[in-house]
């Protein structure tokens, strides 16, 4: 820590004595409370016992009880492997509280026993006298005692983008930065009693909401469970009525139940979400919870921060008004190179103004690699950039001997520097203009600049002699106005287009910020967030206490909520959720943690955000771009559509797998089983898996953002009718036809027991028909509205490779003797293969006819699935 002047120490109290410090020390010291992260074992077990996993465990147990231990082991392996994969993907220790430790400095300067000394921040106790200067991060909650031009950056706690001027008696909080000035302060709270720790506690206690996907998957499993168990019991009862022995009836009931359980669905969902998460990562969006990928597509309301999300979070001078004329400045960020346009006299006057503004500033710009950044107050850094852009010289003149500084004072709202006999002044226009001689035209110029949403500063000078003992008020009079500076925090490029895309997608947007209403509404208008006649501006303190009233007030597009506290953002998210909205909340500060955790989708900034915000969020924007949210929403909608695609694909297969058990049961065993349980498992896990995964990687439709998010469920009547009423029966009919054709061709009659070799060959034909039907079904499931021949073959190259691999696996399962013997089948005869091959044209024709009839019934229905 740098050496300090002695003024504060000389005028302050002597601080605590050593004995007082010892008496006030608390166990653990000034450490923020840390919540122990969840046990990895507990997280892993959770992946093994959710609703879908429990269904599969039950199926495995039934298989073992039914005398099929191989099947039970195979299903258990599927559950374990999927659980491990999900655990690896989502194992992010919830270190939000731990990250808070990085926000507390390691050393702090205090006065004890009348002596200034540096101590570990952990040793602070209530009542300690702390000395502050520019650059310090506060180690505890403090009450200011003596203040000299102190300004504090409280953005991480309040969201306020500009440093706040402080006076004696004001509180300041742990984790905030001193941007400018000096102060002495007394410690009022440490460790878990600080406001920072309070927000951390609020973040931890807020329960994450269940994602729409998890709710829908639970519903899907309930539907499948009811159907599987119901049909299993039904087949058992029918078999008993038709004279089937109870033991065999139970075995076939187990087979029916297992056949209807899509064992491959769980890994398909997980891998599809992981694929989407990988695509988003390439697009600068890091997904921390896999299920959040689909939730993005369901988003109906986005509550966005202003600074750093809609804007670039860097001040820039765009206009300089002087009595000689107006100068326009066009530059990128803080880079010292820019276009400066205006009359020659005006540009010269702007140069003089910029030099004067820098002389009474401490913030500067500095180069880090190829990028120019702010060192100190961003506004003062922007003035330094202006000076360099206009070619001003002598910017270090205020650092020599004889220089006097009158620090910024919230009462005066200006600061000044006396250097080489000249007093340079900058501050709020109304505080400077009143002290200027004939500021002609300036009030009108201030109004025009403010109307553009710019922050306005006035700069003035005087070469009048200033007494050595003069106060700031005495020195800062009879000034000559140099001009006005208009600064902006420019919107991010493309944010207006991104907001328009959100609205095209039926998503409402509100700005929720700690900034003032004037600044926030100006940015809302500039970015296009503002909706004339519909938008409103409301301060956090004016928000209704009643949740329903709050929801009704804010459930509109283009609302601007300013001066919000962390509790306000949390209430806003919960109120909108109570109206049925799926809420995405953006944020970057510690104050945003509770709301990020409570929202359906918490979106944190990766570059400018704090670790606390990133750990509490579901999605981290690595480039801090609002437009990246739109990309994520599009991918989320694609993910929802893709899950419906491979659900249709899996359920179609289940019908074909179920048919042999139904036929066997209904005929009382007169028709032998066309497919065994191990063959069913091979279809679900081996042949079906790759095409299903490829369907899960289907690119987003160009129309994915046309209109509000789909309100349809993952499994609805339309999907069930397509899978169970059309595609499944066609596939099952061809499969059973191929099976019976081989049997009848060998001279078999109904009720006879066929030879083992003949039965294996017929079973191979049925197995082949299902696999070929599924290869055609994979292409049919790419769209719910267009037939296969109207789709781009190169639209999903992964699917072509997956189907090729599926056919190769089919050949291996039929032709490799140990595998074929294990599954209980042989390669089909030529006749059986030809009949099995009919599954491809039959399924594609049925699919095309269904889509044609559906298009005639609902010609104007939008589809997000191509």
pLDDT one-digit tens code per residue, 260-293: 666 667 677 777 887 888 888 888 888 877 777 8
The answer to whether residue 790 scores a pLDDT higher than 60 is yes
The answer to whether residue 107 scores a pLDDT higher than 50 is yes
Written as one string, the DSSP assignment of 160-194 is: --S-EE--TT-EE-TT-EEEEEEEEEEEEE-GGGS
At residue 617, the pLDDT reads 82
Burial label for 18, CB within 10 Å (0-12, 13-18, 19+), is: exposed
Euclidean distance between CA atoms 642 and 650, whole angstroms: 12
Residues 6+ apart with CB under 8 A from 3: none
Handedness of CA 245, 251, 257, 262 (dihedral sign): negative
At residue 164, the pLDDT reads 80
Summarize pLDDT for 319-367 with one digit per residue, the tens.
Answer: 999 999 999 999 888 889 889 999 999 999 999 999 999 998 888 888 8
Summarize pLDDT for 635-682 with one digit per residue, the tens.
Answer: 888 888 888 898 899 889 888 988 888 888 778 778 898 998 788 878
Written as one string, the DSSP assignment of 413-459 is: TEEEEEETTEEEEEE-HHHHHTTBS--TTHHHHHHHHHHTT-EEEEE
β-partners of residue 137 are 177
At residue 258, the pLDDT reads 67
More confident position, 620 or 744: 744
At residue 570, the pLDDT reads 86
Euclidean distance between CA atoms 771 and 292, whole angstroms: 33
More confident position, 192 or 111: 111
The answer to whether residue 864 scores a pLDDT higher than 50 is no
State the average pLDDT over residues 429-458: 87
Residue in the structure block whose two tokens are 């990128």:
332
Residue in the structure block whose two tokens are 């205090």:
110
Summarize pLDDT for 2-36 with one digit per residue, the tens.
Answer: 333 334 434 346 888 888 888 888 887 887 766 56
Query: 3-state class of 318 per DSSP?
Result: strand
Burial track 68-105 (b if 16+ CB lie within 10 A, e otherwise): beebbebbbebbeebbebbbebbeeebbbbbbbeebbe
The answer to whether residue 103 scores a pLDDT higher than 60 is no
Cα dist. 629→286, 304, 496, 525 in Å? 11, 10, 13, 20
Residue in the structure block whose two tokens are 């992010």:
92
Mode of pairing for the β-strands spanning 316-322 and 480-488: antiparallel
The tokens for 336 are: 């010292």
β-partners of residue 327 are 320
State the average pLDDT over residues 467-491: 88
φ, ψ for residue 289 (rounded to 5)? -130, 125
Euclidean distance between CA atoms 728 and 649, whole angstroms: 9
Confidence of residue 98 (pLDDT cuts 50, 70, 90): very low
Burial label for 724, CB within 10 Å (0-12, 13-18, 19+), is: middle
Summarize pLDDT for 142-174 with one digit per residue, the tens.
Answer: 999 988 878 887 876 766 656 788 888 899 998
Out of 241-255, 411-425, 499-513, 585-599, least confident range: 241-255
Residues 6+ apart with CB under 8 A from 704: 634, 637, 638, 641, 864
Cα dist. 24→124, 126, 184, 197, 524 in Å? 9, 7, 20, 20, 49
At residue 161, the pLDDT reads 59
305 carries an active-site annotation: yes
At residue 2, the pLDDT reads 35
Euclidean distance between CA atoms 662 and 656, whole angstroms: 10
At residue 588, the pLDDT reads 76
From the list 621, 576, 619, 534, the residue with the least C-alpha distance to 290 is 619
Summarize pLDDT for 536-575 with one digit per residue, the tens.
Answer: 999 888 999 899 999 999 999 999 998 887 678 889 999 9
The answer to whether residue 828 scores a pLDDT higher than 90 is yes
From the list 615, 587, 633, the residue with the least C-alpha distance to 295 is 633
At residue 209, the pLDDT reads 62
Confidence of residue 101 (pLDDT cuts 50, 70, 90): very low
The angle, 0 to 180 degrees and rounded to 10, between the axes of the packed helices 839-857 and 830-837 is 10
Confidence of residue 621 (pLDDT cuts 50, 70, 90): confident
Catalytic residue among 128, 141, 305, 653: 305
Rg (CA), the chain: 35
Spell out the SS3 assignment of 59-95: HHHHHHHCCCHHHHHHHHHHHHHHHHHHHHHHCCCCC
Euclidean distance between CA atoms 651 and 32, whole angstroms: 52
Handedness of CA 610, 145, 412, 354 (dihedral sign): negative
From the list 708, 720, 729, the residue with the least C-alpha distance to 773 is 729
Confidence of residue 861 (pLDDT cuts 50, 70, 90): very low
The answer to whether residue 92 scores a pLDDT higher than 50 is no
Which helix (H) or strand (E) segment is 44 a member of?
helix 40-48
Euclidean distance between CA atoms 262 and 280, whole angstroms: 28
At residue 34, the pLDDT reads 60
More confident position, 101 or 57: 57
For all residues of the chain together, what is the average pLDDT? 82
């Amino acid at each position: 820590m740098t050496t300090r002047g002695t003024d504060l120490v000389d005028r302050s109290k002597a601080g605590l004595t050593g004995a007082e410090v010892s008496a006030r020390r608390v166990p653990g010291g000034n450490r923020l409370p840390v919540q122990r992260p969840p046990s990895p074992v507990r997280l892993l077990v959770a992946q093994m016992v959710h609703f879908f996993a429990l269904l599969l465990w039950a199926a495995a147990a039934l298989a073992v009880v039914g005398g099929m231990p191989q099947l039970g082991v195979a299903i258990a392996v599927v559950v374990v492997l999927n659980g491990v994969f999900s655990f690896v993907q989502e194992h992010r220790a919830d270190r939000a509280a731990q990250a808070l430790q990085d926000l507390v400095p390691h050393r702090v300067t205090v006065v004890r026993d009348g002596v200034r000394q540096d101590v570990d921040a952990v040793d602070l106790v209530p009542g300690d006298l702390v000395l502050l200067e520019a650059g310090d991060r506060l180690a505890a909650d403090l009450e200011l005692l003596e203040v000299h031009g102190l300004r504090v950056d409280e953005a991480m706690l309040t969201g306020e983008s500009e440093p706040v001027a402080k006076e004696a008696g004001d509180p300041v909080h742990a984790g905030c930065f001193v941007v400018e000035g000096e102060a002495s302060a007394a410690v009022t709270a440490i460790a878990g009693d600080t406001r920072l720790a309070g927000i951390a506690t609020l973040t931890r206690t807020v329960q994450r909401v269940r994602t729409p996907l998890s709710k829908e998957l639970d519903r899907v499993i309930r539907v499948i469970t009811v159907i599987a168990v119901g049909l299993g019991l039904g087949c058992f009862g029918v078999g008993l009525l038709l004279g089937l022995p109870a033991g065999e009836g139970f075995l076939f009931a187990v087979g029916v139940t297992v056949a209807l359980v899509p064992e491959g669905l769980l890994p398909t969902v997980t891998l599809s979400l992981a694929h989407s998460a990988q695509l988003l990562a390439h697009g600068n969006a890091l997904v921390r919870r896999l299920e959040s990928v689909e939730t993005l597509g369901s988003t109906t309301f986005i509550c966005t921060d202003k600074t750093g999300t809609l804007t670039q979070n860097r001040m820039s001078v765009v206009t300089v008004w002087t009595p000689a004329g107006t100068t326009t400045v066009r530059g990128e960020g803080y880079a010292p190179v820019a276009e400066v346009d205006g009359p020659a006299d005006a540009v010269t006057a702007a140069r003089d103004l910029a030099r004067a503004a820098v002389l009474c500033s401490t913030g500067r710009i500095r180069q880090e690699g190829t990028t120019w950044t702010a060192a100190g107050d961003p506004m003062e850094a922007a003035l330094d950039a202006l000076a360099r852009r206009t070619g001003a010289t002598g910017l270090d003149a205020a650092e020599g001997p004889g220089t006097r500084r009158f620090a910024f004072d919230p009462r005066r709202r200006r600061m000044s520097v006396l250097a080489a006999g000249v007093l340079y002044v900058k501050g709020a226009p109304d505080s400077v203009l009143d002290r200027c001689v004939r500021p002609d035209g300036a009030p009108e110029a201030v109004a025009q600049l403010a109307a553009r949403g710019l922050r306005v500063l006035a700069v003035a000078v005087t070469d009048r002699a200033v007494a050595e003992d003069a106060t700031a008020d005495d020195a800062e009079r009879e000034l000559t106005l140099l001009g006005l500076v208009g600064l902006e925090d420019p919107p991010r490029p493309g944010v207006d287009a991104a907001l328009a895309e959100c609205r095209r997608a039926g998503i409402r947007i509100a700005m929720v910020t700690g900034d003032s209403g004037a600044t926030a509404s100006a940015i809302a208008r500039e970015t296009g967030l503002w909706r004339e006649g519909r938008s409103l501006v409301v301060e956090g303190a004016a928000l209704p206490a009643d949740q329903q009233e709050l929801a009704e007030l804010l459930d509109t597009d283009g609302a601007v909520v300013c001066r919000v506290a962390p509790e306000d953002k949390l209430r806003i998210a919960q109120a909108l959720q109570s109206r049925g909205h799926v809420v995405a909340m953006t944020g970057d500060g510690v104050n945003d943690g509770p709301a990020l955790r409570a929202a359906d989708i918490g979106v944190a900034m990766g570059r400018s955000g704090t670790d606390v915000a990133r750990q509490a969020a579901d999605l981290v924007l690595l480039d801090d771009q609002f437009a990246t949210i739109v990309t994520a929403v599009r991918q989320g909608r694609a993910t929802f559509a893709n899950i419906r695609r491979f659900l249709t694909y899996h359920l179609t297969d289940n019908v074909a797998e179920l048919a042999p058990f139904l036929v066997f049961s209904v005929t009382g065993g007169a028709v032998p089983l066309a497919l065994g349980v191990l063959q069913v498992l091979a279809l679900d896990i081996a042949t079906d898996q790759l095409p299903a995964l490829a369907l899960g990687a289907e690119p987003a439709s160009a129309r994915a953002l046309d209109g509000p998010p789909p309100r349809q469920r993952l499994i609805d009547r339309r999907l069930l009718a397509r899978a169970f009423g059309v595609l499944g029966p066609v596939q099952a009919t061809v499969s059973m036809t191929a099976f019976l054709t081989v049997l009848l061709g060998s001279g078999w009659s109904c009720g006879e027991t066929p030879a083992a070799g003949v039965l294996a060959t017929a079973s191979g034909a049925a197995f082949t028909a299902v696999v070929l039907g599924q290869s055609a079904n994979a292409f049919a499931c790419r769209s719910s509205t267009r037939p296969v021949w109207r789709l781009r073959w190169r639209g999903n190259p992964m699917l072509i490779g997956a189907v090729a691999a599926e056919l190769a696996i089919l050949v291996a399962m039929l032709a490799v003797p140990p595998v074929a013997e294990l599954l209980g089948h042989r390669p089909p005869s030529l006749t059986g293969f030809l009949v099995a091959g009919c599954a491809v044209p039959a399924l594609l024709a049925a699919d095309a006819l269904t889509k044609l009839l559906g298009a005639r019934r609902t010609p104007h229905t939008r589809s997000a699935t191509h």
